[in-house]
């Protein structure tokens, strides 16, 4: 019995030792895994910290690079500038040119009197203050030459829509010079930089004003040409009516001599019509506000959601439309309405005001195109023109365009 019990104890102890060994092995594996996990975690933390530093450095570098970038894309600049805002309110281009010349003389005087560049005054070279001052002067001249080259380029290449971009570019040039000359405290003075920025603003204002004056002159010549055409037409009509009046008066005299009372009555009625027509011509010549307001479109050139609303004082308004259908557009204009009014100027102004928010050209008010449909104009005309709106054609014929698009393209 004792031997069996001893054997059982021995067996139980062996099994317990095996279990303890297995437990130690499992614990060792768990500990090794934990140590590996801890090392991996530390490595990941170090990598994460490294990536955070690199990201921060990259973001800092990107911000610094963006600060140095100057927008030069013409399309972007045109979209940003919108309607031009003058920095200096002067009467005309001559006044801007005079002010610009005066400022440029001031800029030269600042450079001549050593007020353009500021620099250290206690710089020495090999213990020599004189040599140090010479070095500072030489470097100052070099820096000023670089700055002036940038400023002169900006003036030469100035376009009104590029003003902000060129000022920004000049400012960054000044910052670069200050950074490169930091050791000797070399920098462009505020007064000189402000004067050169003012020069850019005046140059931009001058160019814009000059272009506006040119446009006004072109508009004046076009208006004078139109008025001359109106006057010629009125003169021709007046001469024609007076010639007819003379013929009928001579015929009336002969009929009276013959005693043909029926023919005399008929002739007097005709003369009354001619007199009325002459009075109408004289009235049209005297009233410069009378004329025709026209609504036209050109589907082939501008699409079906754009019309031109203008006026003409001509006796034959379609002549004006035919002129507009010249070589400048690929297809003829279609007429939607011709409305005669004793105050055509006022009627046109009302229509332009109604569709002001839908002007195609919002900078030049003399361009009379609008993003509206013919039916939109018809509705407005019914409010303003009333009984004068005799006929309105909503759908354009666009014969030339339709014929061109229906035919096969030439290879």
Whether the Cβ atoms of residue 316 and residue 292 lie closer than 8 Å to each other: no
Please tell me the predicted confidence (pLDDT) of residue 116.
93
Provide the b/e sequence for 271-283 (b: ≥16 CB within 10 Å).
beebeebbeebee
Cα dihedral 23, 28, 33, 35 in deg (nearest 10): 140
Please tell me the predicted confidence (pLDDT) of residue 107.
94
Please tell me the predicted confidence (pLDDT) of residue 230.
83
Tokens of 235: 């003169």
The alpha-helical segments, DSSP class H, found in 113-189 are 129-156, 163-180
**Angle, CA 189 vertex, CA 186 and CA 108 arms, to 5°:** 110
Which string of DSSP letters, residue by residue, matches 65-95?
HHHH-----HHHHHHHH-S---SS--SSHHH
- For the whole prediction, is pTM greater than 0.75? no
Please tell me the predicted confidence (pLDDT) of residue 387.
47
Which of 241, 220, 373, 262 is CA-nearest to residue 315? 241
The rounded distance, in Å, linking the Cα atoms of 176 and 181 is 8
Considering only CA atoms, give the Rg of the chain. 44
Neighbouring CB atoms inside 10 A of 110's CB total 16
Chain centre to alpha carbon of residue 386: 37
pLDDT in tens, 333-381: 999 988 888 888 899 999 999 999 999 988 777 789 999 999 899 888 8
Please tell me the predicted confidence (pLDDT) of residue 290.
86
Which of 323, 305, 392, 313 is CA-nearest to residue 348? 313
| H or E stretch covering 187 | strand 187-188
Please tell me the predicted confidence (pLDDT) of residue 122.
86
Each of the 411 residues of the chain gets a pLDDT tens digit; together they read 556 666 666 776 776 676 767 667 666 776 676 677 767 667 767 766 776 676 667 666 656 555 554 455 555 545 454 567 888 888 889 999 999 999 999 999 999 999 999 998 888 888 888 888 899 899 999 999 999 999 999 999 998 888 999 999 999 999 999 999 888 999 999 999 999 999 999 999 999 999 888 888 888 888 888 888 888 888 888 888 888 888 888 888 887 888 778 888 888 888 888 888 888 888 877 778 888 999 999 999 998 899 999 999 888 888 889 988 887 889 999 999 888 888 888 999 999 999 999 999 887 777 899 999 998 998 888 887 654 565 788 888 888 888 888 765 554
Q: Give residue limits of the domains in the chain.
A: 1-69, 82-213, 291-401
**Angle, CA 60 vertex, CA 59 and CA 64 arms, to 5°:** 115
């Amino acid at each position: 019995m004792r031997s069996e019990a001893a054997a059982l104890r021995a067996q139980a102890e062996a099994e317990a030792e095996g279990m303890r060994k297995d437990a130690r092995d499992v614990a060792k594996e768990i500990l090794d895994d934990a140590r590996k996990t801890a090392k991996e975690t530390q490595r990941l933390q170090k990598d994460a910290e490294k990536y955070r530093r690199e990201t921060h450095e990259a973001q800092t570098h990107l911000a610094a690079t963006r600060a140095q970038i100057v927008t030069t894309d013409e399309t972007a600049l045109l979209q940003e500038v919108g309607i031009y805002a003058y920095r200096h309110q002067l009467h005309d281009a001559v006044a801007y040119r005079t002010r610009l010349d005066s400022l440029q003389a001031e800029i030269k005087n600042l450079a001549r009197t050593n007020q353009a560049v500021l620099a250290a005054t206690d710089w020495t070279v090999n213990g020599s203050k004189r040599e140090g001052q010479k070095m500072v002067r030489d470097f100052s001249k070099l820096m000023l030459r670089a700055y002036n080259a940038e400023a002169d380029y900006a003036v030469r290449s100035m376009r009104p829509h590029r003003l902000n971009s060129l000022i920004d570019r000049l400012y960054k040039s000044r910052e670069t010079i200050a950074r490169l000359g930091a050791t000797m405290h070399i920098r462009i003075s505020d007064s000189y930089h402000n004067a050169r920025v003012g020069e850019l603003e005046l140059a931009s204002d001058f160019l814009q004003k000059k272009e506006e004056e040119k446009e006004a002159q072109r508009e004046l010549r076009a208006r004078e040409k139109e008025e001359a055409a109106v006057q010629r037409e009125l003169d021709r009509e007046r001469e024609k009516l007076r010639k007819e009046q003379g013929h009928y008066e001579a015929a009336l005299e002969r009929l009276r001599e013959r005693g043909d009372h029926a023919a005399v009555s008929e002739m007097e009625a005709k003369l009354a019509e001619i007199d009325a027509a002459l009075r109408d011509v004289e009235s049209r010549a005297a009233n410069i506000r009378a004329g025709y307001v026209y609504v036209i479109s050109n589907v082939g050139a501008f699409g079906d959601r754009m019309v031109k609303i203008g006026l003409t004082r001509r006796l034959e308004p379609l002549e004006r439309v035919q002129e507009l259908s010249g070589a400048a557009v690929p297809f003829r204009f279609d007429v939607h309405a011709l409305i005669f009014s004793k105050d055509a100027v006022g009627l046109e102004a009302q229509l332009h005001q109604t569709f002001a928010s839908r002007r195609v050209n919002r900078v030049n008010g003399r361009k009379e195109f609008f993003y509206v449909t013919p039916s939109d104009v018809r509705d407005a005309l019914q409010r303003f023109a009333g009984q004068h709106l005799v006929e309105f054609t909503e759908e354009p014929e666009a014969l030339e365009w339709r014929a061109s698009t229906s035919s096969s393209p030439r290879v």
